[in-house]
Amino acid sequence: MRPVNRFFPVFLLIHLFFITTFLAGCQGDAGKITAHYDKAMICIEQSKKQEAIIELNNLIQIDPECAEARYQLGLLYLEQGNPRKAFGELQRASSLDPENIDAKVKTAQLYLLNRQKEEARKNIEEVLAREPENIDGLALKANLELVENNAAGARKDIDKAIALAPENDRLHSTQPYIQG
């Protein structure tokens, strides 16, 4: 059994403080929603991913419009290697909560992996319109430009990302693939 992280009590306090913000978009029976969400977050902290998935699905049964639950569920499905389920949840989360930039980035990544370049571009452009210096958005756009054989566009985007985060090795690994 894994010992409880010494920061776990702090995590719970912070979590309780922010729970109303995270669930602001959720409708329905607030007590049940909060209970399922809290239990899911504790399960995630304790690496009980399958139990967290069950709790989040229970929450979504009560309130299908809860963007945060769908986002967390999408992340769990990604961790489990289930991109199809992850895509559905992350796409829904980003449509329910346009402020969730990470959900939009992950949705764009999955579109690009499925060679749905126009949908990927649309999501990436939405991310960069909101956050022009979003490192993940810029790196993803560089990869999209590479897929579309636009070396100049890829170079511009990856150079901008590297200028913003020169310590990020992942960004440097894209450079060798850019010709020109």
Residue 38 lies in a domain: yes
Residue 69 lies in a domain: yes
What is the pTM (predicted TM-score) of this model?
0.78
**Structural domain of residue 64, as residue ranges?**
25-97
Residue 148 lies in a domain: no
Residue 91's CATH number: 1.25.40.10
Q: Classify the C-alpha dihedral 31-32-34-35 as positive or negative.
A: positive
Residue 156 lies in a domain: no
- Picking from 123, 152, 165, 164, the residue whose alpha carbon sits closest to that of residue 140 is 123
Residue 70 lies in a domain: yes
- Predicted confidence (pLDDT) per residue in 39-92, tens digit: 999 999 999 999 999 999 999 999 999 999 999 999 999 999 999 999 999 999
Per-residue pLDDT, averaged over 105-131, amounts to 97
